[in-house]
Homo-oligomer: A and B are copies of this chain.
Amino acid sequence: MKIERKPSTALLPTPVVLLSVAGHGKEKDNIITLAWVGTVCSAPPMLSVAIRPSRHSHRLVDAAREFVVNIPRAGQLGKVDLAGVWSGAEHDKFAELGFTARPAKHVAAPLIDECPINIECVVRHQLDLGAHDLYLAEIVAVQYDEDVLDARGHVKTSALEPIAYVEGEYWSLGERIGSYGRAAKALKTEKK
- A42 to chain B: which residues have CB within 8 Å? 9, 36, 130-132
A86-130 interface code vs B (CB 8 A; 1 in, 0 out): 000000000000100010010000000110011100000101011
Q: Are B48 and A48 in contact (CB under 8 A)?
A: yes
Which one, B13, B43, B77, contacts A177 given CB within 8 A?
B77
Distance from A159 Cβ to chain B, minimum over Cβ atoms (Å): 12
- A25 contacts B by Cβ under 8 Å: no
- A142 contacts B by Cβ under 8 Å: yes
Number of copies: 2
- A80 to chain B: which residues have CB within 8 Å? 183
Distance from A131 Cβ to chain B, minimum over Cβ atoms (Å): 4
Q: Are A142 and B7 in contact (CB under 8 A)?
A: yes
Q: Are B139 and A136 in contact (CB under 8 A)?
A: no
- A181 to chain B: which residues have CB within 8 Å? 81, 84-85
- A140 to chain B: which residues have CB within 8 Å? 7
How many angstroms from the CA of A66 to the CA of B156 in the assembled complex?
A: 37
Q: Are A139 and B81 in contact (CB under 8 A)?
A: no
Q: Are B77 and A183 in contact (CB under 8 A)?
A: yes
How many angstroms from the CA of A1 to the CA of B127 in the assembled complex?
A: 36
Which of A39, A48, A172, A183 has the most chain B CB atoms inside 10 A of its CB?
A39
How many angstroms from the CA of A45 to the CA of B14 in the assembled complex?
A: 15
Q: Are B76 and A190 in contact (CB under 8 A)?
A: yes
Q: Are B41 and A134 in contact (CB under 8 A)?
A: yes
Which one, B13, B39, B78, contacts A190 given CB within 8 A?
B78
A-B contacts, 14 of them at CB < 8 A, read: A1-B146, A3-B143, A11-B47, A12-B160, A40-B134, A77-B177, A78-B189, A81-B180, A155-B167, A162-B166, A169-B178, A170-B176, A170-B178, A171-B175
